[in-house]
Amino acid sequence: MGKVQQKVVITGAGGFLGKYLASYLASEGDKVYALTLFDPSDDDKKMFFSSENIVLVKKDIAKDGFDDLPNDIDVVIALAQSPFFREFPDKAKDIFDVNVAAFAQILQWANKIKVKKFVYASSGGVYNDPLAKEYKEDDVINPNISKGYYQGSKLCGEILFQNYYSFFETSIILRPFFIYGKTQNKDMFVARIIDSVINGKEIFLQGKEGLLVNPIYVEDVVKVIVKSLELKNNHIINVGGPDVISLKEIAEVISKRVQKEPIYKYVDAPPTDCVGNIDKLKKLFDIDLTSFTKGIDLTIDTK
């Protein structure tokens, strides 16, 4: 007996992770309603959205609502975030409208049409214990310590979602740590370091090595999302890579790949590490996570 086709709504499908996820689910036979704020570029359409199983829906979720979508959706995967997430306070309203208000609307809509499974992409940035060596899902998050408006909006989303747990068969909160891979915007963490090494830009290091992180390759995140749909009940899961690596080590891996020496500028300040404990992820899912070195090989095409 073949795989049963699911009808899946993905918000933020035109974003970095969304494109990979929509393409993968469509290739597996699911019907994907890919909600995008902007029309994907011709290259993106050719690479990610060519499947007949993908229905592109241009929609501003902060304004347009969801009642025009089919009412027999099985799965909602909420990846959307404001494209202005760094522009606080100037774009605070847009960040709130997309990350909180629109998310509240899609939760209500999903409950109304009896969606079975709901996945929410939060952020590893919601953790705020400055003394933690690595963050765990059961860490207490202090609402009185803010790491930023964007991170606060993601935490608000988590709180809203938790009130809907009982209405879905599967309720998943994912907290990703520094997703990277091909086609990523150059202003994102790993992509920015790649750009800095290739173009001779200074890389600022706190201390001798810089902060510690565990970035995760984008196709591994897709696997985690797909596997999470097999779970029941509610789960919060850190989504990080297998290698805990310093900023300087990241630059050195990239340097070997592109044959260019990094330029460092040292900052006299303690590093602000951001490492997600992935014990729960490894316990729940049988996934062979991509090493950072291999992930960089897959990301950077030097041919």
Span 46-78, pLDDT tens digits: 788 889 999 999 999 989 889 999 999 999 999
141 domain-assigned: yes
Query: Helices 189-199 and 292-299 meet at what angle, rounded to 10?
Result: 70
139 domain-assigned: yes
Q: How far is CA 167 from CA 159, 222, 276, in A?
A: 15, 24, 29
Angle at 245 between CA 119 and CA 238, to 5 degrees: 20
pLDDT score at 2? 55
pLDDT score at 9? 98
- In which residue are the tokens 């596997």 written? 227
90 domain-assigned: yes
Structure tokens, 99: 């990350």
Tally Cβ neighbours within 10 Å of residue 168: 23
73 domain-assigned: yes
Render pLDDT for 222-263 as a digit per residue (tens, 0 to 9): 999 999 999 999 999 999 999 999 999 999 999 999 999 999
Structural domain for 125, as ranges = 7-176
Global pTM value: 0.94
218 domain-assigned: no
What are the two backbone dihedrals, phi and then psi, of residue 16, each rounded to the nearest 5 degrees? -55, -60
Q: How far is CA 268 from CA 117, 158, 247, 262, in A?
A: 47, 35, 15, 19
CATH, residue 55: 3.40.50.720
> What is the number of alpha carbons within 13 Å of residue 37 lying toward its C-beta?
17
185 domain-assigned: no
- In which residue are the tokens 């060596």 written? 133
In the predicted structure, residue 3 carries a pLDDT above the cut 80: no
pLDDT score at 44? 72
E strand or H helix at 259: none
What whole-number distance in Å separates Cα of residue 282 and Cα of residue 271? 27
pLDDT score at 147? 80
Number of domains in the chain: 1
What whole-number distance in Å separates Cα of residue 299 and Cα of residue 280? 26
Render pLDDT for 128-165 as a digit per residue (tens, 0 to 9): 887 788 999 999 998 788 789 999 999 999 999 999 99
Mean pLDDT calculated for residue range 202-208: 94
Lowest mean pLDDT: which of 42-46, 99-103, 167-171?
42-46
pLDDT score at 130? 78
Beta bridge partners of 118: 76, 171
Of 84, 74, 101, 102, which is closest to residue 11 (Cα–Cα)? Answer: 102
pLDDT score at 302? 57
Mean pLDDT calculated for residue range 203-211: 94
297 domain-assigned: no
66 domain-assigned: yes
With a CB cutoff of 8 Å and minimum separation 6, the contacts of 270 are: 206, 207
